[in-house]
Structure 1
Amino acid sequence: MDVVDQLGSLKEGKLSRRKFTKSLLAAGIGFATTPLATRMATAAAEDQGTFFTWGGYDIPELFVPYKEKYGELPNFATFGGSEEALTKMRGGYVVDVSHPCNAGIPRWIASGLFQPIDTSRLSNWADVMPELYNLKGNIVDGKPYLAPFDWGQTSITYRTDLFELEGEESWDMLWDERYKGRLGSLASGGDAWWCGAIKAGVSMEDIATPEAFEKIAAVMRAQRPLIRLYTDDTTTLEQALASGEMVAAMTWNSSATTLKSEGVPVKFADPKEGALTWVCGLMIHKDAPNLDRAYDIIDSLLSVESGKFMINDYGYGHSNKKSFDAFDEETLKGLGLSKTPTDILSAGHFQIPQTQEWETKMNALFEEIKAGF
């Protein structure tokens, strides 16, 4: 199938954006995905539910049950970071379902923009791991606001043939002067600032103190001249690593899994200081215009089919315990996963929810640092 044919299949929903990008990556062709995602969203049927999510989750493989029921995929809208998403919704943007992570749960609930989830309307809820929905601040009056979906790590994906490792894997790799201009990072402070805290030796419990703020800012400023690219478009990071333009980058599990599947010699680091760990999930807008379909979007994402895809193709953990039955422990270990999520989450640094004031201050300063100030 040539590129023109693949574009047609992509627009029709027969080929996922991830698989399309993989084929281009294998052929050495670069491609920017965000504009296409926007076109896909606007082309969807008006009576379908809308899923506001990170790039890479707007794909057919995660909505097999939904499409079987309605004959079409949901509408998709994507964001680069959850703070960006919340800001847009505070400004009046209304969707059915959005996709925040654990560090934002209390602030998202406090915004008054979301409704508790009626778990009786979810056929897959009985198989969701309780340790993932009993997150700090998630249960209010006995009801969860966030239905956990995916979980994993933020660490370093590096080229084993191009990055000369000195000693153990470490966050120092992304501050290595030898590779100035050949390092990359996720652009959102929701990942980068917290990873900077690990590098600076700041505990998650102390991250909000003035002393911690200055220590983290100092290491982020020291890193800035070394970074070739900040982006939350993971495909861009993957392409730069595949071509050798970059030798290491801060990524999620999925980038290493994708690159390995294409035969690129990479490894997802297990830094001696610990990786950043997280749980993300699904919340329903209080004014969701398609409430029934909002529940169907969530149920589809919580399904075993979606879970198997997430584990196998993205290397992420999934909230449905039955999704792991298709994988042996050796395979899961190779992906940096476990059938017991607490084994992974407790081994790293788990994000602790912060105040809106802290989030605003952190994001503003990080944007200044990225701009060179």
Structure 2
Amino acid sequence: MKSVLRRLALALATVCMIGAGPLHAFGEGGGDLVVFDWSGYEDPLLHPAYTTKYGAEPTFAFFGDEDEAFEKMRAGFKADIAHPCSQSVVKWREAGMLQPLDTSRIAGWKDLNPGIMAMKDLAVTADGKAWFMPFDWGNTSLLYRTDKVTADEAQSLRIFADPKYRGRVTIGDNVDDAYALASLVIGLKDWTKMTDAQFQEASAFLRDVHKNIRFYWTDDTDLNQAFIGNEVDLVWGWNETYVTLKGQGLPIAMNRDSKEGISTWVCGYVVMKDAPGKLDEAYDFLNAVNAPAVSDYLVKTFGYGHGNGAGMAAIDHKVLADRGFDNLDKFLDKTLFQQPVAPELKQRMVAEFEKIKAGY
């Protein structure tokens, strides 16, 4: 399992500078292909066939959240491939940033999870064009230290606003995860139908949470270190943190059965419209990350599901059960799926979250 220190070293190796011209990013690798990604996905075992073929890693640049990535690309940064999540794909496509995928060049396209592929306006649009190849999916849920928080206390997501945990809470510096948490707390499972009154109620809850915040995490390295360093007791975080820290012996639990539910996200790869590199390499990378053999590593090491349904079906059932992926109907029963929202609502969320973080 990849260590926290290795992730920190990789993150520190990344340098991003915005000048008068395009944004330049220097990260892990150094090949012709530029992949704009979340930190941690530069792991060579997530795309071994690409490395074997080219004898080098792609050049990876990293972002903390998709709104940051969107703005950097609008500022001039050029990449061949990027790794957005479902709630951002429509926005990126409508901004003219993406080019449609040639699915005939992607091995295993027909093996992609049918439930994910059926999501409206995500992977395939009404005109039959494909824009997004699902790669990973998982949860944002309540993580807590079992030596500081009891299972009974952790039954409700409202614990994030409990004054008892002032200074002991962290949630992501990520507007989607933040409003997913708040939406669940107010009883909303479909945030695309959020009313003005519900938006106000959700925002009020996030203001209560802000009173308990030690910091807003932007990278799983920072988050994991805070847990290990006994800085926080409660986290609104991802599967990877649970899998990594539990494997290191930390007293940590992930509540997939909280009273209000969990949030589920789906992320994947897109090809940028003005990709400056080689298109052949881009499709070789997509084939590499979609290979069925990658499923086992992604599930065991990161705790995330893989977009390739054939690869997931080949994984030992005990492993799937441990990760909560053995019964997808049950898995999705109490979830808020982070699907795209109307641009006006998304901009309102972004603006309000910035105010909340600033203490207003």
Which residues of structure 2 form unaligned runs of 5+?
Answer: 17-24
Is 1:63 equivalent to 2:51 in the alignment? no
Counting only pairs closer than 5 Å after superposition, residues 216-227 of structure 1 correspond to structure 2 as: 216-227=202-213
1:342, distance to aligned residue in structure 2 (A): 5.0
Query: Who is 2:346 aligned against?
Result: 359
Residue by residue, what CA displacement relative to the aligned partner does 1:241-274 show, whole Å, maximum 9, x if unpaired? Answer: 1222211101011100001110111111121211
Q: Residue deviations 1:190-242, cap 9 Å, x none?
A: 11122111112234246542111111110011111101010121111111112
**Consecutive unaligned residues in structure 1, runs of 5 or more:** 1-17, 25-30
Alignment CA distance shift 1:127-1:305 (3 Å): same
Give secondary structure in 2 for the equivalent of 1:143.
Answer: coil
Please state which structure has a larger fraction of its residues in helix.
1
Which of the numbers 289, 308, 333 marks the counterpart of 1:301?
289
CA distance in 2, matches of 1:361, 1:32: 36
Is the deviation greater in 67-76 or in 300-309?
300-309
Alpha-carbon deviations, 1:5-35, whole Å to 9, x = none?
A: xxxxxxxxxxxxx7242579xxxxxx57533
**Partner of residue 62, structure 2:** 78
Moved over 6 A (4+): none
Question: For structure 1, which segment, 317-326 or 68-77, has the greater mean C-alpha deviation from structure 2 after superposition?
Answer: 317-326
The match for 1:11 is none
Instruction: Return the match for 2:89 from 105, 129, 146.
Output: 105
- Secondary structure of 2:2's match? helix
- Residue of structure 2 in register with 1:134 after alignment: 118
Percentage of identical aligned residues: 35
Match of 1:51 in 2: 35
Q: Which amino acid aligns with 2:200?
A: E
User: Partner residue of 2:187?
Assistant: 201
Please tell me whether the aligned partners of residues 317 and 341 of structure 1 are also in contact (alpha carbons under 8 angstroms).
no
> What's 1:317 paired with?
305
- 1:36 maps to 13
Q: Which residue of 1 aligns with 2:20?
A: none
Coordinate RMSD, CA, aligned:
2.3
Q: Which moved more, 1:260-269 or 1:157-166?
A: 157-166
TM-score by length of 1: 0.87
Letter in 1 for 2:325: L
Structure 1 position 250 matched with structure 2 position 236: yes
CA contact (8 A) 1:81 1:190 kept: no
Residue 95 of structure 1 pairs with residue 84 of structure 2? no
Q: 1:69 to 1:206 in 2, by over 3 A?
A: closer
Aligned 8 A contact 2:134 2:266 in 1: yes
- 1:33-92 CA-to-partner distances (Å, cap 9, x unmatched) read 5332348x6266765211111111122121211100000011101111111112222233
Once the two structures are superposed, what CA deviation does each residue of 1:99-140 show, in whole Å capped at 9, x if it has no partner?
111112221211111111111101232322222222211222
Question: Post-superposition shift, 1:325?
Answer: 4.4
* Paired positions, count: 349
CA distance in 1 between counterparts of 2:314 and 2:248 reads: 22
- TM (norm. structure 2) is 0.90
Residue 271 of structure 2 corresponds to residue 287 of structure 1:
no
Specify whether residues 253 and 262 from structure 1 end up closer, same or farther in structure 2 by C-alpha distance, changes over 3 A only: same
> Following TM superposition, by how much is the alpha carbon of 1:96 offset from its aligned partner in structure 2, in angstroms?
0.8
Change (3 A) 1:45 1:81: closer
Q: CA deviation at 1:367?
A: 1.3
Q: Write out per-residue CA displacement over residues 263-317 of structure 1, whole angstroms, 9 at most, x where no aligned residue.
A: 1111111212110011111111111122111112211111123222110001100
